[in-house]
């Protein structure tokens, strides 16, 4: 289930500082909220083929099997990547191909997964096991 990797959508945008500019924590919370909202409509942020800017053009579906749960991330050009939800705390790993998935926590409740020249932002439980 997505619930094993993805946490609840409970973040809200907070503005801090006297000039009204959002602080680092507020930006991380807003990013987590945006990622969770995107996941609800089946879209996630991605930057493909080395692009610097992210947009919400990738889709995500889940396939559960006896051995593993696979996330199928669809690209707008009809290609896709398969990511396996890891049960050892790594987040996700590449489920196919020869390129490994590199996972970074980029905010509270958000990970960035890089495979080759593509990057994906996924909501995740970054607090660790409870």
Model-level pTM greater than 0.85?
A: no
Give tens-digit pLDDT for 2-56: 444 443 332 222 222 334 455 556 555 555 555 556 556 789 999 999 999 999 9
Domain ranges, ordered by start, for the chain: 2-123
- Distance between CA atoms of 91 and 5, rounded to whole angstroms? 7
Distance CA 64, CA 115 (A): 21
């Amino acid at each position: 289930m997505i619930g094993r990797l993805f946490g609840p959508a409970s973040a809200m945008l907070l503005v801090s500082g006297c000039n009204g500019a959002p602080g680092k924590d507020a930006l991380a919370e807003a990013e987590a909220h945006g990622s969770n909202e995107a996941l609800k409509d089946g879209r996630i942020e991605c930057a493909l083929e080395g692009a610097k800017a992210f947009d919400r053009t990738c889709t995500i579906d889940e396939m559960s099997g006896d051995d593993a749960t696979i996330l199928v991330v669809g690209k707008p050009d009809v290609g896709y990547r398969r990511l396996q939800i890891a049960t050892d705390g790594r987040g996700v790993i590449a489920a196919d191909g020869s390129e490994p998935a590199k996972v970074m926590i980029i905010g509270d409740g958000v990970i960035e997964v890089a495979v080759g020249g593509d990057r994906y932002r996924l909501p995740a439980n970054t607090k660790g096991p409870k």
